[in-house]
Amino acid sequence: MAKKAETISLIDTFSEFKETKNIDRTTMVSVLEESFRSVIAKMFGTDENYDVIVNPDKGDFEIWRNREVVADEDLVNPNMQISLSEAQKIDDSYEVGEEVTDEVIFEKFGRRAILNLRQTLAAKILELEKDSLYNKYIDKVGTIISAEVYQIWKKEILLLDDEGNELLLPKTEQIPSDFYRKGEAVRAVIARVDNVNNNPKIILSRTSPMFLQRLLENEVPEINDGLITVRRIARIPGERAKIAVESYDDRIDPVGACVGVQGSRIRGIVRELRNENIDVIPFTSNIELFIKRALSPAKVSSLELDAENHKAEVYLRPEEVSLAIGKQGMNIKLASMLTEYTIDVFRELEEGEGEEDIMLDEFRDEIDDWVIDAIKKLGIDTAKGVLNAPREMLIEKADLEEDTVDEILDILRAEFEE
């Protein structure tokens, strides 16, 4: 009865691994042969005199052992040799020096050998599955996938693809307003595949600029056809994005093609990105013009470039300054990200405003030295320079408290009002 159970156990082993996903038949045969040989080598010290024939389709196998016929008194290694008297029991024509090939019944090796085989197979199959998973997804980095939410944790979401493979969407790669329940479908871009100690982890992202680019390619045929190119993307996920596009056909308006009639093409993308506001502008290699377009909807009066240090000083009419900076500084931040230039915004001087000015150092008796030094590091060293600079810029770039900035502005304004 025990032998019967062991045979069934082996058949079950074949059934399990025959159904294993992502592993082709040739590889499966090779793995099964290696596993049998590994067990045999552990038992007898070598497997070189064994032939293993595996048929995974039927779930059966054969093991044949080759041994040299030796005189009875010369028998030393029963695994590699067979005595003449034993050989002649198989066939009385055998002589010393010939080779005997006889079938070995694996079940007779006992329960431990079968358990060892199952463990060896399991380890090899797991390794193969990991390799297969890595190879499958490393080629898909940068493409969009739809997967089902399986488990939600504090720092990440576990998703399953159509084949049950595990994918991870970290909290840092989720749009802040993303909210999912188990069983819901999630669209994201495959950001990367980590493979530490042959343990592949597929990392997804919904905050990557690549996700927005792939969504555009899906919605705008002209991009997919190569008639329009997405040159640059800057995103504050879930809030706002700026996209620079270029057309190689003068007859095609790249901005109009991306937005669609009455926003028909961009609308679905905005919805997917949790109402992320998307600005599309035409790309140009003229950096001055590009910066002006990037600061849209603000209208720039003039600008000064420091190309070597990738800096730009932009001057606008007073009513345009808040538009250039945008809500919570988003517009100027995105414009800087898109153009790859540090952009400083200044209020354009009204007629007569620039006649008299006072150096900031003159105010050291009213304003702390460290505050004046922080402002001067921005390249602003006069009172009117501070008054013409956006309040938000002074707070963010000089790293000053709002109350401190307001106090400074009051002191400087009072000087000119006098």
Provide the pLDDT confidence category of residue 414 given band limits of 50, 70 and 90: confident
Q: Say whether pLDDT at 6 is over 50.
A: no
Q: Say whether pLDDT at 386 is over 90.
A: no
Residue 215: half-sphere exposure toward Cβ, Cα within 13 Å: 26
Q: Say whether pLDDT at 218 is over 50.
A: yes
- What's residue 13's pLDDT? 56
Q: Say whether pLDDT at 9 is over 60.
A: no
Q: Find the mean pLDDT for residues 17-35.
A: 71
Single-letter code of the amino acid located at 261 = V
Q: Find the mean pLDDT for residues 10-26.
A: 59
- Name which of 104-113, 129-138, 302-311 the model is least confident about: 104-113
Spacing of C-alpha 380 from chain mean position? 41
Residue 330 near residue 298 (C-beta atoms within 8 A):
no
Distances (CA, A) of 379 to 5, 244, 287, 347: 85, 30, 22, 15
- What's residue 203's pLDDT? 97
Q: Find the mean pLDDT for residues 182-203.
A: 94
* CA–CA distance, 221 with 257 (Å, rounded to integer): 9
pTM for the full model?
A: 0.70
- What's residue 351's pLDDT? 52
Reduce the DSSP state of residue 374 to 3 states and report it: helix
Q: Rounded mean pLDDT of the chain?
A: 87
Distances (CA, A) of 40 to 18, 34, 106, 263, 389: 22, 10, 9, 69, 81
**Residues β-bridged to residue 81:** 68
Residue 245 near residue 228 (C-beta atoms within 8 A):
yes
pLDDT tens, 231-270? 999 999 999 999 999 998 889 999 999 999 989 999 999 9
Q: Say whether pLDDT at 314 is over 80.
A: yes
- What's residue 3's pLDDT? 43
Q: Say whether pLDDT at 180 is over 90.
A: yes
**Residues β-bridged to residue 100:** 67
